[in-house]
Amino acid sequence: MGLSDVVTGPRNEEGIAAAVGVLKQRFGDRLNTGHSIREQHAHTTTYLPSQLPDAVVYPETADEVRDIVRVCADHKVPIIPFGAGTSLEGHINAPNGGICIDTVGMNRILKVNAEDLDCVVEPGVTREDLNVYLRDTGLFFPIDPGANASIGGMTSTRASGTNAVRYGTMKDNVLSMTVVTADGREITTGTRARKSSAGYDLTRLFVGSEGTLGVITSVTLRLFGIPQSITAGVCPFPTVDDAVNAVIMTIQMGIPIARIELLDTLMMKATNAYAGLNYPEGPALFVEFHGTDNYAAEQAELFGEIAAEYGSSEFIWATEQEERNKLWKARHDAYWAGMQLRPGAEGVATDVCVPISRLGECIMATQEDAAEAGIIAPIVGHVGDGNFHVALLIDRESEKEIADAEAFIARLNERALSMEGTCTGEHGVGQGKKTALIHELDGCIEPMRQIKRALDPDNIMNPGKIFSLT
């Protein structure tokens, strides 16, 4: 991660002016060129500088998306798709200027096929709104990245979250989608069938493509039955290593845990203070079990036995829904809780993922690195799949602290790669991890460029993200 990855590309001033003029005639008040609106659509939650689009347009249908893309294609103007703006690596910046397509108005749930456990939604539907809509059907959509992200954005970044250890990530739960490609065509990448051997898997190609290959106009998602019983709790441990070893044993024994989240000592202290909780202030696992009443209780009991083997002295249960909601809200608010550890500082969130057998080693080395660098860096992790997040608290006005943070993140990326892991488990590449991606997948970058050039020869789809074309 580094400022060197964030470059300003060539601007097509004449083309941008022409495209804005045409789109203003077609969309009227639904195209906005005001500075504050453009700024809101380029903000990042990292220290990376914002790069504003020239206009923001709000389509309400797939036909309107096609019209916008065709106008931009005619004038060779960049397109930056926008969901809820919760991405973390500069994905929504506009380094070459251009048109931001905000899908907030495309928020319809088009179809729910309850018998087949799937649904079709527009990209602006948020995960929370979808689950509220589904509640009376007895179904739910399990991917929970914490933020109330849009389904289109979650698909574009291959999102994950707290439920991934049981239900998988977006790549496992997207059956098909419709996408408007750079030439203004809308394609459908698959069907509602649960498996297929028909041709290239274009669905997986577009999942995680970060808007660089097309604009999503609908997504077909897998759904799951709401469990009869949900049991959750907090389990403190003497050390991070003990907690991780308990996770490894739980996974190896095949216990179908739904959520298993690690908070280190620093994050537990912050969470207690921020959420008004009184959990022991040491490394802890937040866990949740789904199933029938007897099954969930049995799995929780087995986990408790494993935890005791690794030094956990108690299991603090949260069986009532209100208690569970409070527990998981505290986990989802971890970023904001961590900010209170250094008032006035701002957070830089980053993540890596390693095989779970290397997870404890990677986390402890990262903690030691942060201590040596003098950086306050609380850690949380979706440890059931080896993924953890670090929030660096820095003064973004300090060039030294920015440089120290960049160096720390570079070391973290290299540490994960040396352990046969990845530089990002779920945040994506965007602008911030372009260099790290080269270190991770050097031999694959050119094939990726070839795919990009084939589908987007004029490089108008979210340019400057994931990798450079030269």
Domain coordinates of the chain in residue numbers?
3-104+450-455, 109-225, 229-430
3-state percent helix, strand, coil for the chain, nearest multiple of 5: 40, 20, 40
Is the CATH number 3.30.1490.190 carried by domain 109-225? no
- Write down the architecture of domain 229-430 according to CATH: 3-Layer(aba) Sandwich (3.40)
Fold: same for 109-225 and 229-430: no
Length of the chain: 470
Strand ranges in 174-326 using DSSP code E only, listed in sequence order: 174-180, 186-188, 215-222, 224-225, 229-236, 257-263, 284-291, 316-318
Report the candidate in 218, 217, 219, 212 with the shortest Cα–Cα distance to residue 80: 212
Report the candidate in 368, 163, 356 with the shortest Cα–Cα distance to residue 244: 356
Token pair belonging to 443: 């031999």
* Residue 226 to residue 343: CA distance in whole angstroms: 40
> Mind listing the pLDDT tens digit of every residue in the chain (470 residues)?
455 567 777 899 999 999 999 999 999 999 999 999 999 999 777 778 899 999 999 999 999 999 999 999 999 999 999 999 988 899 999 999 999 999 999 999 999 999 999 999 999 999 999 999 999 999 999 999 888 999 999 999 999 989 999 999 999 999 999 999 999 999 999 999 999 999 999 999 999 999 999 999 999 999 999 999 888 999 999 999 999 999 999 999 999 899 999 999 999 999 999 999 999 999 999 999 998 888 888 888 899 999 999 999 888 888 788 888 888 999 989 989 999 999 999 899 999 999 999 999 999 999 999 999 999 999 999 988 999 999 999 998 899 999 999 999 999 999 999 999 999 999 999 999 999 999 999 999 999 999 999 999 999 999 999 999 98
CA 236, distance to chain mean position in Å, is: 27
Report the candidate in 80, 266, 116, 274 with the shortest Cα–Cα distance to residue 193: 116
Contact 68, 59 (CB under 8 A): yes
Q: What is the pLDDT of residue 72?
A: 98
Tell how many helices (H) and how many strands (E) occur in the chain. Answer: 16, 18
CA 253, distance to chain mean position in Å, is: 28
Contact 375, 413 (CB under 8 A): no
Q: What is the pLDDT of residue 4?
A: 54
Crossing angle of helices 240-252 and 293-309, in 10° steps, is: 130
CATH code of domain 3-104+450-455 = 3.30.43.10
Contact 167, 54 (CB under 8 A): no
